[in-house]
Structure formats: structure tokens, C-alpha cells
Amino acid sequence: MTDGVQTGKQMGLEEVEALAQRALVAAGASDAAAQAVARSIRLAERDGIRSHGLLYLPIYAEHLRCGKVLGMAAPVVTRPKPGSIRVDAAHGFAHTAIDAGWGDFTAAARQNGIAALSLHNSYNCGVLGHHAERLAEDGLVGLCFTHAPASIAPMGGKLPVIGTNPFAIAVPDGAGGALLVIDQSASVVAKSEILLRARKGEPIEPNWALDADGRPTTVAEEALLGSMLPAGGQKGFGLGLMVEILAAALSGANLSREASPFSGTAGGPPGTGQCFIALDPAGFSGAVFQQSLHRLAGSITDQPSARLPGARRKANRAQIEAAGVFVDAALLARIESILQVN
């Protein structure tokens, strides 16, 4: 920033994706991995979710170079049951492993009416709601779960057991898109917000976290050494535990308390997991399902100022797809340094 004017560059989404792909390859990712992750970065920028866009690219590069994620990993897909697809991500990017199992997964859902895709030896999968939305675009109901390194203690405890553990659901609109997308985590606030407050030396809100002794704190540094609070108290912890059961235990991944952090270079690959469930409406109520959905959506949108979950992201898309995104000079310099390292 110079004389109060922010310096940087306006970039189109295609340019964002191409830059991300080049940087990932330079950091050690295979072409397939770079393409899948770069697409995820583009979608995050498109929806205004900047924390999962180019801002995350230097972290991906750091993890490729230190071996926390293996850039040349080859996912292994198996099908233990007609409706279950299991993918060993081989400590590579989740995005690549998801792509590897996707065709069998969606085909099984259409054949059986329901199917599940699980991943183990995985890594974070970017914006979870995008995977649920992808299922909705395929005409399926998508229910997705992913866990993270432990950061939330059980009610009455002080030792983190589960991660922020988000879940997402998306439903088709009958025209090749998603009618609504719900994407939320088990914590009151994203851990990235506490990290940001810590870097700025700013206090956090009193209901966000506990310190290492299990006491409420407004000091961001103390919160990072303690536990984040679940949204809705014990109900939020229960939702996070449900995600843990599906994304970690059912998939055969490390539990959240066993996984290395997604931030920093310590600990080796986190070995986390995901679980996606797809349901084909044709195997249940058929056309009645879509009719019911539109009546349900109308009962929300007919109310002044009310909006469907995911509507804000959709509103961002139209503007950002046309105008692109502004990337500040400091971030561009960090990405440029990735490209220059041999």
C-alpha cells in the first residue's frame, strides 16, 4: 500500500486458475493435481471465499515442498460394495483423489439410488460446499463431510478432540445447477479468523474460544493454544462428532487428534479423510422431490429479505466472473517467488 492506495493487479478467473496451476507444478505437483487444485482455487475466488483462493496457494506450495502433501501421489480406487467407493489418496491432494473416484461414485448412486465415496490418507479438500454442489449439478443430492486436525474440546473438557469438521449439502434445481447449498462447520468461527486476529494483535470475541486451561479467553494467542468453541454448545460438538465418525472413522483416516496440523510444516502428512454421500431422487420420490424443493424454496424466498443458503455466493459469482478479482502486490510477490524456485 502506497500513500493509502492499495497496489496489486486485477485478474480474471482464468488468469487466476492458470497462475495457480503454474505455481503448483513449480512446487512439485503433478499436472493432474495442479489442475484439480487450481480449479478449486478459481471456484473459491469466484464465490468470494478468498481464504481458500490464492491466499492458500503459498501454503499448498510449502506443503508440497516439505512433504506434508505428496504432489506425485497416485490415488487408488476400490469398490468394496456396489454402493461404496473407497479411495486411498496416498497422502496427495484430496481434489485429485475425489476426481479419481467421481465417475464410479456418481454411476453407483444412479444404479443403486444411493452411494458413498470415502477418502483416507487425504488432505484438506478446499471449499466443501463446492463438492456438494458438483453432485447437485449432476442431478444428485449431495451430502459431504470432511474433518480437520483437532481444535475443539468436548463440553466440560479442555483437550481438543475434533476439528472444525464442516458438512455440506446441496440439492439440484432441475436445470443443471444447485437450488441451495448449505456449508457450515462445527465451530463458532473459522480458525483462520483467530489466526488473523493473532497476527494483528487484536482480541477475539468472548464466546469464540478457551485457553489451554479450559477458561474463556479473548486473547487470540491463548485461544490458539487452547480450544475453539463449538457453535451451539453441545449441539455443535455433536454435529462435529458426527462428521468425525463419517469422515475419519468410517473412511479409515487418522482421527482429528491424530492428524498433523494443516498449517506449518511439522508432523508430516495429516492423513485426514472425507465422506461424500449421493442420492438419486429418481430412486425415491422422483419428480415429486423437485416439486417439493421448489415449494420449500419459495416459502423462504417469498419472504422479504430472506434468502436461500448459498445465495450470497451466487450473487458474488455474477460480479466476480465479470470483473475478476483484485490480488494485492504482496500476495503476487509470494506467488512469484514460488515460480522462481527450482
Contacts of residue 170, defined as CB under 8 A and 6 or more positions apart, other chains included, come to 129, 132, 133, 135, 136, 141, 142, 178, 180, 181, 182, 310
5-55, pLDDT tens digit by residue?
578 999 999 999 999 999 999 999 999 999 999 999 999 999 999 889 999
Count of helix runs (H) and strand runs (E) in the chain: 11, 12
pLDDT of residue 282 exceeding 90, the answer is yes
How many Cβ atoms are within 10 Å of 17's Cβ, its own excluded? 21
Of 125, 37, 129, the C-alpha closest to 313 is 129
Contacts of residue 190, defined as CB under 8 A and 6 or more positions apart, other chains included, come to 51, 164
Q: What is the CATH number of domain 73-187+230-309?
A: 3.30.1370.60
DSSP-H helix ranges across the chain: 13-27, 31-46, 57-66, 94-112, 128-137, 191-200, 220-225, 234-243, 287-301, 311-323, 329-340
pLDDT of residue 2 exceeding 60, the answer is no
Is the whole model's pTM more than 0.85, yes or no? yes
Of 39, 33, 35, the C-alpha closest to 63 is 33
283-324, pLDDT tens digit by residue?
999 999 999 999 999 999 999 999 999 888 888 898 999 999
pLDDT value at residue 194: 86
Q: Known catalytic residue: 51?
A: yes
Which of 62, 137, 193, 221 is catalytic? The answer is 193
Q: Known catalytic residue: 251?
A: no
pLDDT value at residue 191: 79
Q: 255: pLDDT confidence band, cut at 50, 70 and 90? A: very high
157-201, pLDDT tens digit by residue?
889 999 999 999 999 999 999 999 999 999 998 777 787 788 789
Q: Where are the domains of the chain?
A: 1-66+310-342, 73-187+230-309
Cα atoms found within 13 Å of the Cα of residue 47, Cβ hemisphere only: 22
Which of 40, 45, 52, 131 is catalytic? The answer is 52
The enclosing H or E element of 10 equals: strand 8-11
Which of 14, 51, 294, 336 is catalytic? The answer is 51
Report the C-alpha gap between 126 and 102 in whole angstroms: 16
Q: 4: pLDDT confidence band, cut at 50, 70 and 90? A: low
Task: Give me 188's grid cell.
Answer: 463458532
207-251, pLDDT tens digit by residue?
999 999 989 999 999 998 899 999 999 999 999 999 999 999 999
Q: Residue 2 carries which DSSP code?
A: B
Report the C-alpha gap between 268 and 258 in whole angstroms: 11
Residue 83 or residue 264, greater confidence: 83
Rounded average pLDDT over 116-136 = 97
Q: What architecture does CATH give domain 1-66+310-342?
A: Orthogonal Bundle (1.10)
